[in-house]
Amino acid sequence: MNIAVIGGAGYIGSHAVKLLVERGHKVLAIDTLDNGHRRAVDPRATFVIRDCGNTAALAAVLRDFKIEAIMHFAASAYVGESVTDPRKYYRNNVSNTISMLDAMNLTGIKKLVFSSTCATYGEPEKVPITEDLFQNPISPYGQSKLMVERILMDCARAEGLAFAAPRYFNVAGAALDGSIGEDHRPETHLIPIVLQVALGQRTHVDIFGTDYPTPDGTCIRDYIHVWDLVEAHLLLLERLKAGHGLFYNLGVGKGYSVRDIIKACEKVTGKSLPTRESARRPGDPPALYASPEKILREIGWSAKITDLEQIVGSAWNWFKAHPHGY
Ligand SMILES: NC(=O)c1ccc[n+]([C@@H]2O[C@H](COP(=O)([O-])OP(=O)(O)OC[C@H]3O[C@@H](n4cnc5c(N)ncnc54)[C@H](O)[C@@H]3O)[C@@H](O)[C@H]2O)c1
């Protein structure tokens, strides 16, 4: 297929581009490069700088490349920043996504996979989280993603859009061949932060909250390897149906605490990593992990890279080779 990957120079988008070209698809990567990196984009793909909020410019390039389906990773994705600058989040994540849908409409593209998030569940009433739990996001970031889920559902009903909105848990790791990895600036994800301590780029790891009702008192999250995640996208693309939306959790189904992650990083790097215990951060639930049952049952997908040290090891290989990122 001819597939456009919007946000294709970002962390997850660049892994999707690589997977798609390796599976024989023709890929057009689109990004503003606001947070992405030109060098993250596989050279076998075509790359163009475009803002998905510019309907006319986006439609023109989608038409030129005869695009048949879109994977939409582009977003502003810092939960904390979304609290202090909500308009930025509603503009980029909601308004610019509507502009992208306009471009799809103009060019007759009906297939879409959209990055949603477990942040749409907010503080869930139970774990593991199943897709039918009430979605009650507690940040503008989570709200913006839930709004898009609902807009897509309405567009499916009204216009025959065929879409999937996988809800990611914590995406981690790097391509197993070491070619691309994670380079967020600033970095807010736990595994890269801990590995930056191992590289001597930070003095310590802050542990926010050690009094949670979890076995070691620290927060528990579900870490899914980025390659497993993008493979799920390809399967979802093959299962899209006109007028329907597919909603699935993308997680491993197992939770690891902050201390588990630090221990795994110490084991993988062979270094002792200093920590500093701080107060809880507002809005950090004690435990978030997926039930991955629905996607296994209905699509046949489950994560293959489930060993925490392998996930951390892939990230470490990339960080060691690219200590200053791209
Ligand atoms: N990383 C995670 O753990 C995680 C978890 C849940 C959901 N998500 C979602 O997955 C998606 C990808 O996340 P990521 O970690 O790769 O983020 P990222 O910031 O690395 O990638 C996003 C890319 O989109 C680009 N972009 C932003 N706005 C754009 C626009 N208007 N037009 C074109 N390009 C634009 C950025 O330049 C960047 O390259 C996001 O939608 C995010 O909300 C990520």
Q: What is the pLDDT along the chain (326 residues), one digit of tens a residue?
A: 999 999 999 999 999 999 999 999 999 999 999 999 999 999 999 999 999 999 999 999 999 999 999 999 999 999 999 999 999 999 999 999 999 999 999 999 999 999 999 999 999 999 999 999 999 999 999 999 999 999 999 999 999 999 999 999 999 999 999 999 999 999 999 999 999 999 999 999 999 999 999 999 999 999 999 999 999 999 999 999 999 999 999 999 999 999 999 999 999 999 999 999 999 988 889 999 999 999 999 999 999 999 999 999 999 999 999 999 99
Please give the CATH superfamily to which domain 173-222+253-321 belongs. UDP-galactose 4-epimerase, domain 1 (3.90.25.10)
Phi, psi of 110 (to 5 degrees): -115, -5
Query: Catalytic residue numbers?
Result: 141
The pLDDT of residue 283: 82
Q: Are strands 256-257 and 220-221 parallel, antiparallel or unpaired?
A: antiparallel
The domain limits of the chain are: 2-170+223-250, 173-222+253-321
The pLDDT of residue 76: 98
Which ligand 1 atom minimizes the distance to the CA of 92?
31
**CA terminus-to-terminus distance, the chain:** 29
The pLDDT of residue 248: 98
**Structural contact between residues 211 and 217, judged by C-beta atoms closer than 8 angstroms:** yes
Longest Cα–Cα distance of the chain, Å, equals 56
Phi, psi of 242 (to 5 degrees): -55, 130
- Dist. CA 160 → ligand 1 center (Å): 26
Please say whether the structural domain 2-170+223-250 has been given the CATH code 3.40.50.720. yes
- Joined together, the tokens standing for residue 202 give 């930070």
The pLDDT of residue 75: 98
Within 6 A (CB) of ligand 1 lie 6-7, 9-13, 31-36, 51-53, 73-75, 77, 92, 96, 115, 117, 168, 170-171, 184
Q: What is the DSSP string of 149-180?
A: HHHHHHHHHHH--EEE--EE-EEE---TTSS-
This prediction has a pTM of 0.98
